[in-house]
Amino acid sequence: MTELKRAEEQVRTLTGELERRVEQRTSLLQATVSELESFSYFVSHDLRAPVARLEGYCTALLEDCGTCGHADCRRYAERAGLVVQQIKLIMDAFNSLTHLARCTLSIADADLSGIARTVAGDLAVLHPGREVEFVIAEGLRVNGDPALLKKALEHLLYNAWKFTSKRERARIEFGITEQQGVPVYFVSDNGVGFNMKYADKLFKPFQTIHTPGEFAWNGTGIGLAIVHSIVLRHGGRIWAEGEVGTGATFYFTLAENPESGSYLRQG
């Protein structure tokens, strides 16, 4: 009986220590997200007004350039206007990333194969001049938030579409493999690829490993960070493998039964 009581006391002590650690980590997470939300509010409100004023000045300049005799006047005003639009896109993307940290997951049956086919069809319609072979595995269904998983696949497939744009025969595949008994989903392409020494930069916001303007479609530099956040919210992980001139493959896992709702305190 003495040994049993001693064991029970030890279990209670360990349980209490574990609960304290979980509470501490949760508090740190709450504080981090709170800081992120404060910065997001600053981006959404405090920066929105001056950017809108700058946009107004660019519009006024374009109107005045109609009577201006300087050959470069209109060109400079148009470039300034494009920069303003890019700033607005980045602000919206950042706010979207912040939202993913605390949004409520609505778990349901998600048809990943169907989502991939829809995204591939949309890309083909938007860019009809390209010939791209899509290979999409059938019957890939998971438990998850269908809207968020669609957003993740949109970014991954768009990324593959973008970086195969210089290939005469582009090929993009969405499929499944297995590692240590765990299903692993992947999006691969035969595009420009990347140097693996930069792999850690891929999922960080506003990081890029390609020269700006190198490809026809310029993003916000936050797409893969959004994918990373969505995968984490689904209890999974994501990583990439690539080789310059050969292509790239993005792998991700998803928890079998991710928790619904939000893991952050409300109010």
pLDDT tens, residue by residue, 218-263 = 566 788 888 988 998 898 999 999 999 899 999 999 999 887 765 4
Helix (H, G, I), strand (E, B) or coil at 15: helix
How far apart, in whole angstroms, are the C-alpha atoms of residue 222 and residue 234? 19
Q: What confidence tens digit (pLDDT) does each residue in 88-139 have?
A: 887 877 777 777 766 788 899 999 999 999 999 999 998 888 889 999 999 9
Helix 48-64 with 73-100: angle, nearest 10 deg? 160
Structure tokens at 14: 């360990």
Q: What percent of the chain has pLDDT over 70?
A: 80
Helix (H, G, I), strand (E, B) or coil at 78: helix
The confidence band for 267, taking pLDDT boundaries of 50, 70 and 90, is: very low
Alpha carbon distances (Å) from 158 to 3, 122, 136, 179: 62, 10, 15, 26
pLDDT of 150 above 90: yes
How far apart, in whole angstroms, are the C-alpha atoms of residue 98 and residue 229? 9
Residues linked to residue 242 through DSSP beta bridges, in sequence order: 248
